[in-house]
């Protein structure tokens, strides 16, 4: 495999792992917010969830770019393979064409008037269909007997003739199809040869124009630059900055998305009014502490003893 393909696939796999990790964090944040009441705590969790969602959007953007880059490289490789296969096919067709011309050079297919013969046979079949219709009408009005049997015999004979003409018609139509296919193949071969000649001319011109361009060097510089940018993005992430996030990201849109995800999670879990069953209400005060149960301080004990004396 091409080293560029392997390098791109490795980077794609790494970004997918990061996106999966961020999805796990978002799921935990959604579960936490679903169990919390509105307040500073929930707002803090929501803020962290929004920051995580921003990072996910950034990685998704990078992943989309790498996938498009992989698609472009694969398309270029496929185009090269198709051109190579086309050249091999053209060579084989040229060899077969020479052999056919050598063996059947005296046959002039254009002189075969198959269309006229097909039209004549179709007229005969249509005439036999009319006769069969009349025979069916006559037999429907007659009783069983010699007269009906005679008409039935003529109808069977007409049906046999119709089947024979239909067989001839099918053969002529197949012959016409074969001739048209041969003509189409010849036209396609001619067009292919013209296309190949044009591609060869363009290839020579491109080689002349870009003969001094080192594609491998440019590609190496391109990948080095992408690696440096990726390292810079990771450093910015560690420093807590939103580097690489598109400017059109809207905070309100992200909060709306989180609220929609939280609402979906709450529908799948136990209703909120059942979660508070068995828990003491928030408005009940704590039990009072009796003063007599509190042990006396040492200073107080000494004062009492002195008074008694």
**Residues with Cβ < 8 Å from 159, sequence gap 6 or more?**
128, 132
Q: How many CA atoms lie within 13 A of 209 on its CB side?
A: 6
Distance set, CA 224 to CA 4, 7, 54 (Å):
12, 11, 26
Both tokens assigned to 184: 């189409």
- In this predicted structure, the answer to whether residue 168 has a pLDDT above a threshold of 80 is yes
Rounded mean pLDDT, 216-239: 75
Q: How many CA atoms lie within 13 A of 18 on its CB side?
A: 20
Rounded mean pLDDT, 179-187: 78
Rounded mean pLDDT, 124-134: 90
DSSP 3-state assignment of 20? Answer: helix
**Residues with Cβ < 8 Å from 162, sequence gap 6 or more?**
125, 128, 129, 132
Q: Is the pTM value of this prediction over 0.85?
A: no
Residue located via tokens 């590609």: 219
pLDDT of residue 210: 67
- In this predicted structure, the answer to whether residue 59 has a pLDDT above a threshold of 70 is yes
Rounded mean pLDDT, 253-269: 73
Both tokens assigned to 27: 């799921």
pLDDT of residue 111: 44
Residue 26 CB neighbour total at 10 angstroms: 19
Q: pLDDT higher for 118 or 102?
A: 118
**Residues with Cβ < 8 Å from 204, sequence gap 6 or more?**
none
Among the ranges given (89-98, 142-151, 222-231), the one the predictor scored with the smallest mean pLDDT: 89-98
- In this predicted structure, the answer to whether residue 308 has a pLDDT above a threshold of 50 is no
Angstrom distance (rounded) from CA 296 to CA 286: 23
Distance set, CA 233 to CA 129, 141, 236 (Å):
82, 94, 5
- In this predicted structure, the answer to whether residue 18 has a pLDDT above a threshold of 80 is yes
Residue 69 CB neighbour total at 10 angstroms: 16
Contacts from 68-77 at CB under 8 Å and sequence distance 24+? 69/8, 70/5, 70/8, 70/9, 70/12, 73/2, 73/4, 73/5, 73/8, 74/5, 77/2
Rounded mean pLDDT, 195-209: 78
Task: Tell me the Cα Rg of the chain.
Answer: 44
**Residues with Cβ < 8 Å from 152, sequence gap 6 or more?**
135, 139
Angstrom distance (rounded) from CA 53 to CA 249: 10
pLDDT of residue 129: 92
């Amino acid at each position: 495999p091409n080293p560029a393909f392997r390098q791109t696939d490795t980077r794609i796999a790494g970004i997918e792992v990061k996106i999966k990790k961020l999805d796990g964090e978002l799921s935990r944040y959604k579960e936490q917010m679903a169990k919390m009441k509105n307040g500073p705590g929930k707002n803090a969790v929501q803020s962290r969830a929004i920051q995580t969602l921003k990072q996910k959007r950034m990685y998704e953007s990078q992943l989309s770019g790498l996938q498009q880059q992989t698609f472009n490289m694969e398309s270029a490789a496929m185009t090269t393979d198709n051109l190579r296969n086309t050249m091999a096919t053209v060579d084989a067709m040229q060899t077969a064409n020479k052999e056919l011309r050598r063996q059947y050079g005296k046959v002039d297919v254009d002189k075969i008037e198959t269309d006229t013969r097909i039209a004549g046979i179709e007229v005969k079949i249509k005439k036999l269909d009319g006769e069969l219709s009349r025979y069916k009408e006559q037999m429907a009005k007659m009783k069983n007997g010699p007269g009906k049997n005679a008409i039935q015999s003529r109808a069977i004979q007409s049906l046999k003739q119709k089947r024979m003409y239909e067989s001839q018609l099918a053969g002529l139509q197949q012959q016409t199809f074969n001739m048209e296919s041969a003509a189409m193949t010849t036209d396609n071969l001619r067009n292919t040869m013209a296309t190949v000649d044009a591609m060869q001319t363009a290839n020579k011109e491109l080689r002349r124009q870009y003969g001094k361009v080192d594609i491998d060097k440019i590609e190496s510089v391109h990948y080095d630059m992408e690696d440096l940018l990726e390292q810079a993005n990771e450093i910015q992430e560690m420093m807590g900055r939103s580097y690489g996030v598109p400017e059109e990201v809207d905070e309100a849109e992200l909060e709306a998305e989180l609220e929609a995800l939280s609402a979906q999670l709450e529908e799948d879990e136990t209703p909120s009014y059942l979660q508070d069953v068995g828990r003491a209400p928030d408005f009940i005060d704590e039990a009072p502490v009796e003063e007599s149960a509190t042990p006396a301080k040492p200073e107080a004990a000494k004062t009492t003893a002195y008074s008694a004396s």
